[in-house]
Amino acid sequence: EQIKKGSYDHFMQKEIHEQPHSLKTTMRGRLKDGGVVLGGLKEYLKTIRRCRRVVFIGCGTSYNAALAARPFVEELTGIPVTMEVASDLLDRQGPIYREDTAVFVSQSGETADTLLALDYALENGALCVGITNTVGSTLSRKTHCGVHINAGCEIGVASTKAYTSQIVAMAMMALAIGSDQISTQARRDSIISGLNNLSSNVSEVLKLDAGMKELASSLIDSESLLVFGRGYNYATALEGALKVKEVALMHSEGMLAGEMKHGPLALVDENLPIIVIATRDACFRGRLIVMCSRGDAAAVCPSGGSCRVIEVPQVADCLQPVINIIPLQLLAYHLTVLRGFDVDQPRNLAKSVTTQ
Ligand code: G6P
235 Cα to the center of ligand 1, angstroms: 15
DSSP secondary structure string for all residues of 59-84: -HHHHHHHHHHHHHHHHHH---EEEE
Cα separations (Å) of 84 from 29, 132, 167? 31, 17, 17
Q: What number does the ligand 1 atom closest to the CA of 139 have?
A: 15
CA distance 341 to 122: 41
User: Residue with the nearest Cα to atom 15 of ligand 1?
Assistant: 106
Contacts for 263 with CB less than 8 Å, ≥ 6 apart: none
The reported pLDDT for the residue numbered 283 is: 45
Q: What totals of helices (H) and strands (E) does the chain contain, helices first?
A: 14, 12
Output the ligand 1 site: residues, CB below 6 A: 59-62, 106-108, 111, 114, 157-159, 349, 351-353
Sheet containing 273-277, strands listed edge to edge, beginning at the edge strand earlier in sequence? 251-256, 224-229, 273-277, 287-293, 308-312
Element of type H or E holding 27: helix 19-27
| Residue 79 near residue 125, CB atoms below 8 Å | no
Best residue among 12, 15, 89, 108 to mutate for probing ligand 1's pocket (most ligand atoms within 8 Å of CB) is 108
| Residue 120 near residue 89, CB atoms below 8 Å | yes
Tens of pLDDT, residue by residue over 303-312, are: 645 688 999 9
Q: Where are the beta strands (DSSP E) in the chain?
A: 31-32, 35-36, 53-58, 81-85, 100-106, 127-132, 145-148, 224-229, 251-256, 273-277, 287-293, 308-312
113 Cα to the center of ligand 1, angstroms: 10
Q: Interior CA angle at 80 toward 168 and 91, to 5°? A: 90
Best residue among 15, 56, 57, 61 to mutate for probing ligand 1's pocket (most ligand atoms within 8 Å of CB) is 61
User: Residue with the nearest Cα to atom 11 of ligand 1?
Assistant: 352
> Interface pTM (ipTM) of the complex?
0.95
145 Cα to the center of ligand 1, angstroms: 21
CA distance 244 to 223: 12
28 Cα to the center of ligand 1, angstroms: 25
The reported pLDDT for the residue numbered 261 is: 81
DSSP secondary structure string for all residues of 132-166: ES-TT-HHHHHSSEEEE-------SSS--HHHHHH
* Spans of the chain, pLDDT less than 50: 282-284, 304
67 Cα to the center of ligand 1, angstroms: 15
159 Cα to the center of ligand 1, angstroms: 7
The reported pLDDT for the residue numbered 130 is: 98
CA distance 88 to 98: 20
The reported pLDDT for the residue numbered 285 is: 58
The reported pLDDT for the residue numbered 144 is: 98
Best residue among 352, 354, 355 to mutate for probing ligand 1's pocket (most ligand atoms within 8 Å of CB) is 352
pTM (2 decimals)? Answer: 0.91
The reported pLDDT for the residue numbered 1 is: 64
CA 356 to chain centre: 23
Q: What number does the ligand 1 atom closest to the CA of 246 have?
A: 8
Q: What number does the ligand 1 atom closest to the CA of 60 have?
A: 10
Buried b / exposed e along 304-317 (16+ C-beta atoms within 10 A): eeebbbbbbbbbbb
